[in-house]
Amino acid sequence: MFSINDFKVHVHSVDIGRMVIAMSLYESIHGDVKGMIRVKDNINFFDNFINVEMGSVEISYTYLDKLVTFPFYANGVSDQKITKFGKEYSIDLISYSTMNKQMNRICEVYNGTSNDILANLWKKSNGETIKLIMDSKCASKGKYIVPNIKAGAAMVNIVQSAYDNNNTGMFLYQRLVEGGDTRFTSLHDMQNTEFKDTNKSLFKIHNEFTDIDSLNKSGTTIGSSNSFILKNYNKNYVGKLSDGLWGKEITQIELDKTKELVLGNAEYTNVKEFKYKASEKLYDNNVINLFTSPSASNDNMITNMKYRLFNTVLEASDCVAVPNLGCGMVVDVEQGGSNLSRTKADGAYLIAHINHRYSMNDGEMNYVQDIGLVRE
């Protein structure tokens, strides 16, 4: 376990870093970074500086020479305890993009690819200050009439219906190490985003057990964990089968291979399913609706691919924190070590989420990561 240095937490431009006793920052491929800081307040900071309008909270620190800075917006105070020495409470944090998507409503008409429409929605709600990175080019296109709804809801509609040139679904998310930038990435491109170690090999999340050779190498403890839990291995298989997750023509994404396999119907079932789809044309002018793909099979394929990504869910807890690691990256997993054997649950995984946990111990802020890993 390593500690962070130069830790600062600016609330209303006042640094309360020395008052923070614990912190949790969470990132996921399903959305924006959010978090919580636990404050031990013996100087009555709460009454003097925290108002109805919570304001900005900027967190910064260095970890193994990597500077991490992230701007948040305080979203409330909870679990306050009052003693004769002062107060202890939690400040909930959301990213500025989350706030903007909730505060701004959009009533507009957009036309073009999903990239074009999302970029316009983003600019309308976030302006030019928060960067949107388009990692993937979408094949989905059409017209979207936004009926005076929150910007966040409009963006969710785009993300859920979008797919790239490889017919894989899209994700809109943030990484802590990227300081508030937001990415729009397809599953196909995620599986090619390999996180490499110093030897340019696929980075390994590994068991903390070591041998003599590994002890003599610097940096081998980074990414080690003493707790691997296989949370889900093809759970609810019968339900997935009846929903058609393997019963239609699909494109299979394999993290440990660079090719795609197009598979025909693998199973047949008597379960009947009725679906009602949106009109392919808007009004009578033959304008294509964005939310209709070229065929219904594409809709099923793209949706099911996202579900199948979570067929195997592995949690690596209390990892020695890895600098520059973020969700949407691929790593290798080796749960064995020393005299422990390998398991078929080892191999390449996509990082679905990371819970960055910090705790004060003897004047030092220790840092570990709980890493959620998924694969088909």
169 plus 122 within the same structural domain: yes
Question: Residue 261: is its pLDDT beyond 90?
Answer: no
Residue 323 has, within 13 A of its CA and on its CB side, a CA count of 13
- With respect to residue 286, please indicate whether it lies within any of the assigned structural domains: no
Is the pLDDT at 17 greater than 90, yes or no? Answer: yes
If we measure between CA atoms, which residue out of 204, 186, 208 comes closest to residue 195? Answer: 204
pLDDT of residue 255: 58
* Domain of residue 114, residue span: 99-186
Contact predicate 17/58, CB 8 Å: no
Tell me which of 95, 126, 148 is where a domain ends: 95
**Is 69 a domain residue?**
yes
pLDDT band at residue 297, thresholds of 50, 70 and 90? very low
Q: What is the overall mean pLDDT for the chain?
A: 82
119 and 85 fall within a common domain = no
**58 and 76 within one domain:** yes
Q: Using an 8 Å Cβ cutoff, are 132 and 122 in contact?
A: yes
Shared-domain flag, residues 31 and 81: yes
DSSP element (H, E) containing 229: strand 227-233
pLDDT at 277 over 50: no
CA distance 176 to 66: 12
CATH of the domain at 140: 3.55.50
Residue 267 has pLDDT above 50, yes or no: no
How wide is the angle at C-alpha 31 spanned by C-alphas 29 and 35, nearest 5°?
Answer: 105
Within a domain: 158: yes
Residue 288 pLDDT grade (very low, low, confident, very high; cuts 50, 70, 90): confident
Q: What is the DSSP letter of 47?
A: H
**Long-range CB contacts (within 8 A, 24+) of 76-79:** 77/46, 77/50
Both 80 and 218 in a single domain?
no
Domain presence at residue 316: yes
Whether 310 shows a pLDDT value over 60: the answer reads yes
24 shares a domain with 108: no
The reply to whether 30 falls in a domain is: yes
Do 202 and 331 lie in one domain? The reply is yes
303 and 248 part of one domain: yes
Tokens read off for 3: 């500690």
Choose one of 31, 62, 95: the last residue of a domain: 95
Residue 222 neighbours by CB distance under 10 Å: 20
Angle between helices 96-103 and 151-161 (to 10 degrees): 100
Pair 15, 149 in one domain: no
Domain count, the chain: 4
Quick one: average pLDDT of 227-237?
71
Are 213 and 348 part of one and the same domain?
Answer: yes
Same domain for 247 and 212? no
For residue 40, what is the domain's CATH number? Answer: 2.40.10.10
- Is there a single domain that holds both residue 91 and residue 7? yes
Instruction: Read off the pLDDT of each residue in 58-84 and give the average, rounded to a whole number.
Output: 93
